[in-house]
Structure 1
Amino acid sequence: MPFSSPLPSPMALNKPPPSPSIFKKRSSSALGGPIPSSAASYLTALSQADARARNANGSPTSTPALSLSSSVTSSSEDTVLHDYADNDSNANGLLLPARPPTSEQVFTTVHTEFGHCANEEYRTTSQHPPGTPLPPHVEQDPPYYILLSTYISYLILICLGHVRDFVGKRLSPASYRHLMPRNGYAPLNSDFDSFYTRRLKTRMDECFSQPVTGVAGRTILLLDRISPDYNHTQIFTGTRTRALNISSYNYLGFAQARGGCADAVEESIKRYGISSLGSRLEGGSTDLHTISEALVANFVGMEDALISSMGFATNSTIIPALVGKGSLVISDELNHASIRFGTRISGSHVRMFKHNNMKSLENLLKEVISQGQPKTHRPWKKILVIVEGLYSMEGTLVNLPAILELKKKYKFYLFVDEAHSIGALGPHGRGVADYFGVNPRSIDILMGTFTKSFGAAGGYVSGSKALIDRLRVYGHSGPYAEAMTPSVLTQVVASMASIMGIALPPEMASSSKLAIEQEYHHPGPAPPSSLPSWLSLPPNLASGAEGSSRLRRLAFNSRYLHNGLIKLGFITYGHPSSPIVPLLLFNPGKMNMFHRLMKDRQTPIIVVVVAYPATPLVTSRVRFCVSAAHTKEDIDTVLKACDEVGDVLDLKHGLPKRQRWTVEEIMKRAVELGTMA
């Protein structure tokens, strides 16, 4: 590994030599023969390996553990299924595409994109118990010595940074030319503005912006790199490392290069081409855009929907069309930057309330309604409350029932950003309204993105037809943004239909149903008329069976990891149903070490480390992103790694030692933890 520490890791001491791992790059000889010389030869080898796997005696109930060697496959030749992507070229210099097995292949292969788990005990339903209040999130503080050492660490870094700047500007002025006025021009960036980036972030830049290639599925392929100049530049070594991916927003595992959705995308490219069918002057809207917007509206339970080619732009261009001068926006203090940007350019007055604190929100509502606009004290033209369904840095859920009660009492408009909750929460995957069992039309505006659960790109906003018609005219994304490409729209439609399931066509329905006019009832299967006529999904996707299974697997994996980390003694944030599980690191020096120790294990694990300004300065964290593509054994692998790394870095400051569980007990009682609220 190119990022190996100069000193051996404490976990590496007194350990037997590791067995071969499927993640390590192998030479061509490991493939059991010469590499195929063409794409056709490769596909033939793939089919033969799949046939051998199908004929193998017995089928395990889940994908083999990631740390096992390739001997778990039927024969040595079958390693082409998961190793061929790691080879740069074949003997003739032909670069072939990676074709790892997917969720539609047999259980006996090693799956890099989607892991199999046939054990129905490792399933649960993502649903809030009806009639019970949402328990408040209580942030747990670490011991005082942890907070003190964290503040001292930042103080030392800041002092050393200023000393280095003072000395460097005098001894090596050429290195600071971009920060000094010259030739009558002021610097584009002042040394004060770029101080954090230069003197703090750069010191631990190894754990940020890790370059990857291929599909961000259950595993991911890292491009190894080194830095000879303390992270000022990064140099690729030319090697790659396959790691367990616990860092992508691939909540339902639809990030796959093969399968029913990928086949549908391929068919759309044949029909529509690769690029968008229209420029900004032509509008770029096609029949596929109309179909997609209607399907999104059905999926979320609204009258109409408007799609955009970028998630960030959905908020930043739609909010100014909703509110303006004389309006008031009340925003949760932890709302996303796109919401803050949209409200800032709208010209409306902005007030914030404490995160998910309904008492703070109600007190603020009483104040702003009684006082009216500043100076004139005229009534507000409109009041818009903006919250997120699932907060990506905290993993907390909005207290939607309580906000709806306040909405009835104080008569404001409600905007819910479901970028992370749509497709990931609720028994039907329809977001926080589905999770809490409330009517989605009691919410005025539902916004979401396609980049997480649907494995695509872009975003949408949904509401009443009158509202969406107005946004088509006054929203900036309509006249100024490019249209979404047909291939991306097809991925959205295919994955969304896989979650909903497709209703039987009239000719196949029972005679009693023929007399009833086909009308969509939320939440329900997608009517065949709402999908492109050429779209064909495999039976397991079209029936909605696999979509339902993925939702229940995601719910189990999320609860299992969240509760397992708590039982190990870590301080975590968020709701147990959240697929985002933050683990608090606090000290900046532990961020880089946690990333390195996880990546340098026998089974490499790639994680996302988050620091200021995305989080408060002293609450740096690692953010695990759980997927339905992960198996129970994958979560076990993460828990084992966290248990060892947590002991080395002194991260267990949650439960007292006498109340903690061992990792073996957690694995044994996984079903209990995976269904615990």
Structure 2
Amino acid sequence: MAIQSASPTPSMFRKKSTPVLNTAASYLSAVSEADARARAPRGTPNSTPALSLSSSVTSSSEDTVLHEREELNSDGLAYPKVPPTSEQVFTTVHAEFGHCANDSYRFTSRYNPARPLKAGEQDPPYYILLTTYISYILVILFGHLRDFFGKRFKATDYRHLLAHGGYAALNSDFDSFYTRRLKLRIDDCFSHPVTGVPGRTIVLLDRYSPNHNKSILLTGGKTRGLNVSSYNYLGFAQSKGACADASAESIRRYGISACGSRREGGTSDLHIQAEALVARFLGMEDSLISSMGFATNSTVIPALVSKGCLVISDELNHASIRFGVRLSGANVRMFKHNDVKSLEALLREVISQGQPKTHRPWKKILVIVEGLYSMEGTLVELPAIMELKKKYKFYLFIDEAHSIGAIGPHGRGVCDYYDVNPRDVDILMGTFTKSFGAAGGYIAGNRSLIDRIRLSGHAGAYAEAMAPPILTQVVASMASIMGVTLPRLDKPTSSTRSLLTRHSDSTLNVIAEEAPAWRGTALAAWLPTWMPTPQSMCDGSDSQMRLRRLAFNARYLNRALRKLGFITYGSADSPVVPLLLFHPGKMAVFSRLMRTRPTPIVVVVVAYPATSLVTSRVRFCLSASHTKEDIDTILVACDEIGDLLDLKQGVGERWPLQEIMARAVELVHMEES
């Protein structure tokens, strides 16, 4: 990265105004000069400075002290070549990963039995609920009036809703009413096109609508904003670094296309290595990887349960789980979200009553929960569920799409967070699209179960295998979290032999002898011999830094928003922080005001049917790539917009914004009452 001159608000974009420094001596001289200049007037900054972003980006412009060769991305924006280390003075602006040398801005994500798991969900004042319902009633009323008169006086505009030429209507006006009469009005805050790397910042493609959002056109301009909309929890979605280098090397060796389906012999050495590494990362006997996270649930659940079985599902489980249960043909019952008492009452009922009509015992009972609920930000109450599991003898399936890699002192998910042995859980499912910066999903469990799923699950027989670069990203990011144990010189290992973990009992014994304990490191023999393994990957220092920074950012934003008076859901340790908006008109206004600030902030607005009708919200998705100053920028924006839109309806002690920012470390480590 280029070291910049002292500037109160350095810009993300730069221009080349001086010759490039070609020699090492001139490079080091400029670094020393910039270091001395930065230290003299104001000391050493502890982190990347706050962003100062242009809202209309068409070229790169930034004055620097040290100028090095830069690579222009396809969007015309200049990206630095080499990020600085933690020993350098961080006076540069980082688009993908904000560096922070202040160890105070770190926290370890770990369950403390002495404090409550989560804060109770607050209800808004009655006038907020009343005005929200009135807003929906008015929208529905005027929408039906417009449909009534429109079908009679503007039939051409309603052609798709009316029978014509002997054909039935292509769409139902009742089913499409919400989309046409509410979502269309605020469609500019949904599905905004982006480009580039979804790191600390992201580039939006500017757009406008000439006909009230019926069609949205691109202007050709681009806006770079602070990104709190991506599930890039650990910041591994980078174009630079060890993971990117490993993926680039895999492209040179394997190409970029998928290896074919499993049935057609598409399983490669990378598949076997990745599955072995996933199993050891989770502390399970074996694992199966799939090329799509949604398909992992929807194709595996039918292989686990069938007619005569019962699935007990949390009422807020993901759509992929619901779809898989429907395909299985099993009976399904739901319990209140994250309510252990409701679950136990339901277990008592279904066990005592048995199957409907015949009252025969269930063939099996499978309880499905999520580790971290991405819409609510709540963590599953795993210790209490494990106690019920011992008492009622059901099978437990945990979907860790959002918790794996993001929760726990070692990044191993909710089992790590609660210090629960993963072998006590029957099935662990997760995806690689969030914390690992890749794609696809996995199922992990005992070896006999996984072998059965390989035979009876649809994903293995019909789905395409994962492409080599994606597999390499999974292996590299997971190994970075685990750390790598180098082979002993007195006991040579064979990487070829270690690949056959499921085909040879003798090999299994060798691997078991060499394998580290749960939460331990990965063996070098499990990694491709050609994959670069820098020191930060081997010792796990880089990933530990990322895990601790993510935990700090999550607790800081969650607790700070509550101290400002906002109503938020979920656990303080959740990297997903939902802020309740309630009123439908506030969704679009909040998104627009955040996006048009001096430092644009890109957020995700969520509404019905993803949430209940009156609990629309904005979700802040935090990352280890964010700095403390980035969180402060978000808090300043929320404080101003919250006053403007009357969003501060929470109860409890409130702190002024400046006090929150000054006491951030104390706020993070403070015990909840």
- Same fold by TM-score greater than 0.5: yes
State which drifts further: 570-579 or 152-161: 152-161
Which SS does the other structure have where 2:34 is aligned?
coil
Mapping 1:480-629, distance limit 5 Å: 480-507=462-489, 517-629=513-625
Cα 1:168–1:473 shift into 2, 3 Å = same
The residue that corresponds to 1:630 in the other structure is: 626
Q: Give the Cα separation in 1 of the matches to 2:151 and 2:84.
A: 57
Instruction: Write out per-residue CA displacement over residues 493-517 of structure 1, whole angstroms, 9 at most, x where no aligned residue.
Output: 000011001013212999xxx9x94
Q: Which residue is equivalent to 1:236?
A: 218
Judged with a 3 Å threshold, the aligned counterparts in structure 2 of structure 1 residues 187 and 305 are, in CA distance, closer, same or farther, namely same
1:44–1:583 Cα change, 3 Å: farther
Deviation string for 1:21-56 (max 9, x for gaps)?
735x78xxx44379xxxxxx9x98999989845762
Name the count of aligned residue pairs: 632
Preserved CA contact (<8 Å) 2:206 2:220: yes
Q: Is the contact between residue 101 and residue 111 of structure 1 (CA under 8 Å) also seen in structure 2?
A: no
SS in 2 for 1:335: coil
Q: In the TM superposition, what are the counterparts of 1:75-90 in structure 2 within 5 Å?
A: 75=65, 77=67, 84-85=72-73, 88=76
Three-state SS of the structure 1 residue aligned to 2:219 is strand
In the other structure, the counterpart of 1:651 is 647
TM-aligned CA deviation for residue 470 of structure 1: 0.2
Match of 2:657 among 660, 663, 666: 663
Q: Describe the shift of the 1:145–1:285 C-alpha distance in structure 2 as closer, same or farther (beyond 3 A).
A: same
Superposition pairs of residues 36-185 of structure 1, within 5 angstroms? 52-53=30-31, 56-57=34-35, 58=39, 60-67=45-52, 74-75=64-65, 77=67, 84-85=72-73, 88=76, 102=83, 107-129=90-112, 131-132=113-114, 134-135=116-117, 137-185=119-167
Corresponding position of 1:273:
255
Q: Matched residues in 2 for 1:318 and 1:51: separation?
A: 59
Per the TM alignment, residue 568 of structure 1 is displaced from its structure 2 partner at its CA by 0.3
- Residue 9 of structure 1: aligned partner: none
- The separation in 2 between residues aligned to 1:283 and 1:578, in whole angstroms, is 40
Shift of 1:184: 1.9
3-state SS of 2:138 partner: helix
1:282 aligns with 2:268: no
Tell me the SS of whatever aligns to 2:522: coil
The one of 309, 312, 316 equivalent to 1:327 is: 309
> What residue ranges of structure 1 are gaps of 5+ in the alignment?
1-18, 35-40, 89-95
How far, CA to CA, are the matches of 1:97 and 1:471 in structure 2?
Answer: 47
CA distance in 2, matches of 1:294, 1:170: 64
* Matched-pair identity in %: 65
- Could you tell me how far apart the structure 2 residues matched to 1:607 and 1:371 are? 47
Q: TM-score, normalised by structure 2?
A: 0.89
The 10-residue stretch of structure 1 (250-259 or 169-178) with the greater mean CA deviation from structure 2: 169-178
SS in 2 for 1:507: coil
Distance of aligned partners of 1:81 and 1:22 in 2 relative to their CA distance in 1, 3 Å threshold: farther
Q: Match of 2:489, SS?
A: helix
**2:443 matches 1:461:** yes
Quick one: distance in 1 between partners of 2:528 and 2:570? 39
How far apart in 2 are the matches of 1:615 and 1:310? Answer: 24
2:11 is matched with: 22
TM-score by length of 1: 0.89
User: Cα distance 1:20–1:350, how it changes in 2: closer, same or farther (>3 A)?
Assistant: same
Q: Alpha-carbon deviation of 1:537?
A: 2.3
Q: CA separation of 1:649/1:610 partners in 2, compared to 1, >3 Å: closer, same or farther?
A: same
Letter in 1 for 2:319: A
The structural deviation recorded for 1:71 is 10
- Structure 1 distance, partners of 2:32, 2:141, is 63
- Residue of structure 1 in register with 2:496 after alignment: none
Q: How far has the Cα of 1:174 moved from its partner?
A: 1.1
Distance 1:470 1:87 in 2: 48
Preserved contact between residue 102 and residue 113 of structure 1 (Cα < 8 Å): no
For 1:559, give the aligned amino acid: R
Distance (Å, rounded) in 2 between the aligned partners of 1:316 and 1:104: 43
- Partners of 1:589 and 1:49 lie apart in 2 by 54
Residue 60 of structure 1 aligns with an amino acid whose one-letter code is P
- The alpha-carbon deviation at position 360 of structure 1 amounts to 0.5
Q: Which secondary structure does the structure 2 equivalent of 1:174 belong to?
A: helix
**Cα deviations by residue, 1:55-79 (Å, 9 ceiling, x for unpaired):** 621553211211389999742856x
> 1:633 & 1:276 partners in 2: Cα distance?
41
Q: 1:548, CA displacement in angstroms?
A: 0.6
**For 1:371-408, what per-residue CA distance to the aligned partner results, in whole angstroms no more than 9, with x for missing partners?**
00000000000000000000000000000000000000
What RMSD, in angstroms, separates the aligned Cα atoms of the two structures? 2.7
* Residue 406 (structure 1) aligned to one of 368, 388, 391: 388
The question of whether the paired residues in 1 share the 8 Å contact of 2:118 and 2:378 is answered with no
Amino acid at match of 1:176: Y
Equivalent residue letter for 2:599: T
Compute the displacement of 1:674 (Å): 2.0
Q: Aligned equivalents of 1:51 and 1:285: distance in 2?
A: 52
Structure 2 residue runs without a partner (length 5+): 1-7, 55-59, 493-509
Q: Is the Cα–Cα contact under 8 Å of residues 53 and 598 in structure 2 kept in the other structure? A: no
